[in-house]
Chain A
């Protein structure tokens, strides 16, 4: 090296170093600030995130409780559904996928869409190594085929999950309910991990009301996702999992209902000729629901997702489009004018307040003049007393009665029998019904109350509405001497191995305490409805069926529901057919109410249905008594469920 180069002046730089120093402090300061944020302020959060990276949690499924009827017949249980899972990153789209599609027997269209889903997943760094649900509810033969060729299908696995199944299908669907996928709202409301996305929960009916019992508690098992090189698995588990690595699932509680499924089947059979309507049968001695049938119905198996999510969507679309609203529970959730089935209560009101004597006769000439209006009767009954008026369902007699009564005392009697108030069954939204009072009319019609309203109320028309269950319980009270029960649908709650956890006794809502002489007068009249030649139900009488009750033909306000065809208007203008009664007439056991929506005359249409149900009830009772007698002597027929249960699960 020759001479070194000339030194030059460095003074120019002096003042500028501080800017660089400042920049360095700022940059590293920002780093420290960020580190403080990540490590100290949010350290726990990232700690948890890192834990989630290495610790997986396998959910241990629980089994939902089984629902049975009073005799141990299974109404809702669980079955395995086989679902196809795929790890997108491990599946070869050009080789394995066509093979898979062939084995699963997918259609061309199905295969193309699934293929697109998969190729999308394969491109995602995050999802390509995670198992994805590709197809639900594979048929059993496909499952078998997939198992056989499992070695040729890398990345494909079949896992079973539990699906709710209802062996009786549409029968009793409204009461039992169905299962639906949990929505975001419910998830937000139960943040403590009771539900996870994709879970199913009871949507309506018993499934919903008793969800917390049926559901059971899910368990979990934690595990380490990957293996670190140098450590033994046991040490890793010890360090990262701690003590709460396993929680066994707890199965849900089983529920026994008060329903008698054979009686429900009988109700369904009896209603076969009808388009829409409802039947309720209760035990008059306990208020327990023995049968309830709402027509038209729906298949809870489909609604619960047993055939996949697409089928659910399709099903609900058709339910909502249907003018007959198959999802509507007509036994509880809809209110109808009771028509003449209300007359016993009007009669009782008149007797209690001495408005009319039982022997007093009213001349029916086919109608009743009141003020400027003329109120029609169903026919010309001539001179009728109370008994005859009830038997022949003479309106004129009750118009006369109504002209003497106050509307509030009618409403009061109705309220005592539970009308206008929810029964408190607890499942499904309940239509309250209405017992109009003077105050109600004043509110509704701006002060112009007219006496005609009372006339209409006394024959169960006008603004009066009831739901089918209310009417059944009121008739049960007429039959049992005045005890209004709270309706009961759940008999007991049991553990999965049959131990009773909770048993529900019948609960009395109110003792109505009518005058026994007055009540027996009305009971006699109701027996006459069926047994006397002039009785409105006499024509449809079946020999040997012991029944008392009252027919009803309720006029409807002419209004067709939306979505119905113009040609259906005639149907929607027809009267509702009612029969409300109890059996046997002498020592009542059950109360039966039959409603046929737009069924026409009650005597002609509703009575035969009730007759057949009561006939079946008597037959069932005899059969069970005989079976009990043939088995161990002196055993209660209710003991049968315990014996039957073994094979049902």
Chain B
């Protein structure tokens, strides 16, 4: 029950915030496009809520059986993106079905979690795991990660990796293996930096490290977002009164930077409440996991919680200049049907585990 209350609370704040965010006057064309985004978001919330209820009603152990089918169909969808996708600002993420856009990489998040949880359920080894034992679950996470990075979408692929890592961290792993993998991760990061990343992705990180060097482009967005947050002060500028948002200084204020809009209007105290809600949800998912009756349920709860936690942290972190700007949505808060639906379904899975302890 607390889970339900907190989810509805965050989503409500999110929709109210969206109303303010999209009321900003940018120019005539954008005004038309954004005018009733918050209404769409309400529709999506209702749809998502029904879907989550449905998922919660089903015993989560059925999903264990279905996991491989769902996972593979998810991979097929990701592959289809390359064929069918419409290009939005240099990266192709959306598939259009009639008048309806959806983003397979979002839906893939809980599917990866399901698949990894299934692996953990079946891997009941009691002695500490070595690298060889981990090859399979890591592979499960890395295949969609690779596909999504090709889109390219750094943020979403990071969520696959981090949520899978959080689940695997629950199992016993040899200390040596952990150290080796950390080293390997560093090496791979370096290789990625040199060969795997697009220029604009590199630019995001360099401009994060030295924002003054290039006060245009990405760093410009980051600086404006921080200015908005700082402008909020302790008490906030008041609802619909944030100048950074109202005068159009925030880029993607409804999808990537809704937190900056919120922080500007409701100040430090408002943020304290919002972060408190996210923290509660994250901890609550671990609480659910700790009470789960089997490894699958526990891993699933950890995974669902991890998706929420990492997305919330990455999004807020980039808004306030703690992390480089990667396109991650703020769960239950940002505008986006796929994102909201996915988040609610993930929480439905968590609910399902919670109801069957």
State the A residues within 8 Å of B (CB). Answer: 1, 4-5, 7-10, 12-14, 16-17, 19-21, 24-25, 27-28, 30-32, 34-36, 38-40, 42-47, 49-51, 53-54, 124-127, 225-230, 240
Partner of A47, one of B230, B316, B320: B230
Chain B residues with CB under 8 Å of A227's CB are 25
Q: In the docked arrangement, what's the CA distance between A43 and B246, Å?
A: 19
B276 to chain A, nearest CB (A): 9
Which of B100-108, B151-159, B181-189, B267-275 is the interface stretch?
A: B267-275
User: Residue A39 contacts which of B62, B230, B282 (CB distance < 8 angstroms)?
Assistant: B230
Q: Does B255 contact A (CB under 8 A)?
A: no
Residue B248 CB within 8 A of the other chain:
yes
Q: List 16 A-B contacts (CB under 8 A).
A: A5-B296, A9-B295, A20-B170, A20-B286, A27-B309, A27-B317, A38-B226, A43-B232, A46-B226, A46-B229, A50-B231, A50-B249, A124-B216, A127-B216, A228-B25, A228-B246
Chain A residues contacting B297 (CB-CB under 8 Å) are: 10
Asked if B24 and A43 sit within 8 Å, CB to CB, the answer is no
Name B231's closest neighbour in chain A (CB-CB). Answer: A50
A13 in contact with B275 given A7-B293, A35-B320 (CB within 8 Å): no
A16-B169, A46-B229, A50-B227 given as contacts; is B278 within 8 A of A10 (CB)?
A: no
Cβ contacts under 8 Å, A7 to chain B: 293-294
Q: Complex: how many Å from CA A27 to CA B295? A: 26
The docked-state distance in angstroms from the alpha carbon of A7 to that of B59 is 13
Is the Cβ of A32 less than 8 Å from the Cβ of B295? no
Closest to A20 in B: B286
B206 beta carbon closer than 8 Å to chain A: no
**Apart from A20-B166, A35-B263, A47-B231, 16 more pairs, CB < 8 Å:** A5-B64, A5-B296, A10-B292, A13-B289, A24-B286, A25-B279, A31-B275, A31-B316, A43-B232, A47-B233, A51-B243, A53-B249, A125-B217, A228-B246, A229-B31, A229-B246
| Nearest-neighbor residue (CB-CB) of B172 within chain A | A12
Chain A to chain B: the 9 pairs with minimum beta-carbon distance, closest first: A46-B230, A125-B216, A229-B25, A50-B231, A43-B233, A7-B294, A39-B268, A38-B230, A126-B216
A49 / chain B contacts, CB cutoff of 8 Å: 227, 230-231
Q: In the complex the two chains form, is A229's CB within 8 Å of B23's CB?
A: yes
State the CA gap A51–B289 with chains docked (Å): 47
Enumerate B6-21 residues with CB–CB distance to A below 8 Å: none
What chain A residues lie within 8 Å of B278 (beta carbons)?
28
The answer, among B226, B296, B306, for a CB contact under 8 Å with A8, is: B296
A10-B294 in contact given A28-B313, A39-B232, A49-B227 (Cβ < 8 Å): yes
> Complex Cα distance A165/B237, Å?
50
Residues of B near A43 (CB, < 8 A) are 230-234
| A207 CB → nearest B CB, Å | 37
Report the separation of the CA atoms of residues A43 and B269 in the bound assembly, to the nearest whole angstrom.
13
* Pair B243/A53 contact, Cβ less than 8 Å: yes
Cα distance, A49 to B302, chains bound together (Å)? 41
B322 within 8 A of A: yes
- What chain A residues lie within 8 Å of B327 (beta carbons)? none
User: Which residue from chain A places its CB closest to the CB of B299 in the assembled complex?
Assistant: A13
Residues of A within 8 A of B306 (CB): 20
A21 touches B234 (CB 8 A): no
Q: With A13-B289, A17-B289, A31-B317 given, is the CB distance from A46 to B227 under 8 Å?
A: yes
Q: Is the CB of A28 within 8 A of B226?
A: no
Cβ of B68 within 8 Å of any chain A Cβ, yes or no, is no
CB distance from A113 to the nearest CB of B (A): 23
A12 CA to B248 CA, complexed, in Å? 51
A325 to B119, CA, bound (A): 89
Q: Which of A12, A36, A50, A228 contacts B24 (CB 8 A)?
A: A228
**Within 8 Å of chain A (Cβ to Cβ): is B43?**
no
Given A226-B247, A230-B23, also A39-B286 (CB < 8 A): no
- Please give, as numbers and ranges, the residues of chain A lying within 8 Å of B279 by CB-CB distance: 24-25, 28
Question: B50 on the interface (CB 8 Å rule)?
Answer: no
Q: Does B126 contact A (CB under 8 A)?
A: yes
A14: chain B residues at CB < 8 Å are: 290
Inter-subunit contact A30/B286 (CB<8 Å): no
Residue in A1, A20, A53 whose Cβ sees the most chain B Cβ within 10 Å: A20
Distance in Å: Cβ of A303 to nearest Cβ of chain B: 35
Q: What are the residues of chain B within 8 A of A38 when measuring CB–CB?
A: 226, 229-230, 320-321
B30 CB to closest chain A CB, in angstroms? 11
B320 & A229 in contact (Cβ 8 Å cutoff): no
Q: Are B233 and A24 in contact (CB under 8 A)?
A: no
Task: List the B side residues contacting A5 at CB < 8 Å.
Answer: 61, 64-65, 121, 296
B294 and A20 form a contact (CB under 8 A): no
Q: A34 to B244, Cβ gap below 8 A?
A: no
How would residues 309 to 334 of chain B score, 1 for a CB under 8 Å from any chain A CB and 0 otherwise?
10001001100111000000000000
Given known pairs A31-B316, A35-B320, A39-B267, the reply for A4 and B231 (CB within 8 Å) is no
**Smallest CB gap from A226: residue in B:** B247
Closest to B122 in A: A8
Are B295 and A13 within 8 A (Cβ)? Answer: yes
Whether A21 touches B283, Cβ cut-off 8 Å, given contacts A43-B233, A126-B220, is yes
- Partner among B24, B169, B267, B317 whose Cβ is within 8 Å of the Cβ of A19: B169
- Nearest to A36 among chain B residues (CB) is B268
Chain B contacts of A16 at CB under 8 A? Answer: 169-170
Q: Is the CB of A17 within 8 A of B286?
A: yes
Q: Is B177 an interface residue (CB 8 A)?
A: no
Residue from the set A1, A44, A226 with the largest chain B CB neighbour count within 10 Å: A226
CB pair A31 B121 closer than 8 Å: no
A216 to B277, CA, bound (A): 58
Whether A20 pairs with B229 at a CB distance below 8 angstroms is: no
- With most chain B CB atoms within 10 A of its CB, the pick from A21, A42, A43, A227 is A43
- List of B residues within 8 angstroms of A51 by Cβ: 243
Interchain CA distance A370-B224 in the complex, whole Å: 87
Contacts of B24 in A (CB 8 A): 228-229
**B222, CB-defined interface residue at 8 Å:** no
**Which residues of chain A have C-beta atoms less than 8 A from B272's C-beta?**
32, 35
In the docked arrangement, what's the CA distance between A30 and B290, Å?
Answer: 26
Residue B190 interfacial (CB < 8 Å): no
- B136 in contact (CB, < 8 A): no
Instruction: Kindly state the separation between the CA atoms of A21 and B296 in the bound complex, as whole angstroms.
Output: 20
In the assembled complex, the Cα of A45 lies from the Cα of B231 at a distance in Å of: 8
CB–CB B322/A30 < 8 A: yes
Give the distance in Å from the alpha carbon of A40 to the alpha carbon of B235 in the complex.
9
Question: How many angstroms from the CA of A13 to the CA of B298 in the assembled complex?
Answer: 8
Which residues of B have CB within 8 Å of A31?
275, 313, 316-317, 320, 322
Contacts of B320 in A (CB 8 A): 31, 34-35, 38
Contacts of A36 in B (CB 8 A): 268
Minimal beta-carbon separation of A107 from chain B (angstroms): 32
For A46, the chain B residues whose CB sits under 8 A away are 226-227, 229-231
User: Is the CB–CB distance between A50 and B228 below 8 Å?
Assistant: yes
Report the minimum CB–CB distance from A25 to chain B (whole Å).
Answer: 7
Please state if A40 and B233 are interface contacts (CB–CB under 8 Å).
Answer: yes
CB distance from A486 to the nearest CB of B (A): 53
Known: A19-B169, A28-B275. A54 touches B247 (CB 8 A): yes
Q: Contact at B268–A40, with CB atoms within 8 Å?
A: yes
In this complex, what residue of B is CB-closest to A30?
A: B322
What's the Cα separation between A627 and B170 when bound, in Å?
A: 108
- Contact between chains at B271 and A35 (CB < 8 Å): yes
Q: In the complex the two chains form, is B298's CB within 8 Å of A39's CB?
A: no
Contact among A13, A45, A240 with B170 in the assembled complex (CB-CB below 8 Å) = A13
B233, B290, B296, B313: the one contacting A17 at CB < 8 Å is B290
What string of 1s and 0s marks CB contacts (under 8 Å) between B109-136 and chain A? 0000000000001001010000000000
Query: Once the chains bind, are B61 and A10 in contact (CB under 8 Å)?
Result: no
Q: How far does the Cβ of B238 sit from chain A's closest Cβ, in whole Å?
A: 11
Compute how far the CA of A47 lies from the CA of B231 in the bound complex, rounded to whole angstroms. 4
Q: Is B215 an interface residue (CB 8 A)?
A: yes
Q: Write the chain A residue with the least CB distance to B173.
A: A16
Q: How far, in angstroms, from A127 to B309 measured CA to CA in the complex? A: 38
A32 nearest CB neighbor, chain B only: B275
- Tell me the nearest residue of chain B to A46, going by C-beta: B230
Whether B171 sits at the interface, judged by CB under 8 Å, is yes
